[in-house]
Amino acid sequence: MDFNLEKVQFHWSTRTRESLGWFKTLMEEILEQDEQNLLECHNYLTSAKLGTGGELFNLARSKVQEKTGEDTVSGLSLTTAHAKQVETHLTRPNFDKVFKDAAEKNPGEKIGVFFCGPPVIRGMLDKLCRKYNNKKNNPWGSRFKLHAENF
């Protein structure tokens, strides 16, 4: 299969902070080798409940990351060059927004969606691929193709 890889968005969603560490070493190694900034990592800690203090917590977390070079939630060590490539969200992913943003930023392009996880999320991603392959929802003409494994 021939294709021109321009960007990779890795979305990791989990309920526990400890699970974010499963790929820590691998992700740090990949980021260090990513000289062209092709990789974007989005970690989602779905069990986090910030309430009204969320803005203050995120500001403090950002300042700690600037000083220590480490994402305090995921534990990833980030050099200044890679700090913008990793974002940890304390919520569930909004995949509708992820698809819309990808379509808008990549007009007319083929976008591969690679997934490994539970069938319910696969169904949701399949539905979003179909939604954004419809010209009514995607005037940019991008095309999404789902490649999935279930566990």
**Cβ partners under 8 Å of residue 73, min gap 6:** 17, 20, 43, 45, 48, 61, 88, 90
Instruction: State pLDDT tens for residues 84-134.
Output: 788 888 888 999 999 999 999 999 999 999 999 999 999 999 999 999 999
* pLDDT exceeds cutoff 80 at 61: no
What is the reported pTM?
Answer: 0.80
**C-alpha angle 32-83-56 in degrees, rounded to nearest 5:** 155
CA angle (60, 61, 63) in 5-degree steps = 65
Q: Which residue among 60, 89, 118 closes a domain?
A: 89
113 assigned to some structural domain: yes
Task: Give φ, ψ of 73 to 5 degrees.
Answer: -90, -50
Residue 57 predicted with pLDDT over 90: no
What is the average pLDDT across 69-85? Answer: 73
Residue 27 half-sphere exposure toward CB, CA atoms < 13 A: 28
Q: Pick from 72, 89, 106: which residue ends a domain?
A: 89
Q: Containing H/E element for 113?
A: strand 110-117
Q: Are residues 85 and 99 in the same domain?
A: no
Greatest mean pLDDT range, 2-6, 23-27, 61-65, 95-99: 95-99
- Give Cα separations from 48 to 55, 109, 144 (angstroms): 13, 35, 30
Arithmetic mean of pLDDT, 19-41: 85
User: Are both 15 and 84 inside the same structural domain?
Assistant: yes
- Number of domains the chain contains: 2
Task: Note the pLDDT of residue 52.
Answer: 62
Cα–Cα–Cα angle for 68, 51, 24, nearest 5°? 35
Look at residue 81 in the predicted model and tell me its pLDDT: 61
* Range of the structural domain that residue 83 is part of: 8-89
Tell me which of 81 and 88 has the higher pLDDT.
88
C-alpha dist (Å) from residue 80 to 7, 39, 57, 66, 88: 20, 15, 21, 8, 16
On whether both 24 and 63 belong to a single domain, the answer is: yes
- Tens digits of residue pLDDT in 4-20: 778 899 998 988 888 88
Q: Which residues contact 105 (CB under 8 A, 6 or more apart)?
A: none
Of 56, 89, 122, which closes a domain?
89
% of the chain surpassing 70 pLDDT: 89
Which pLDDT score, from 0 to 100, does residue 50 have? 67
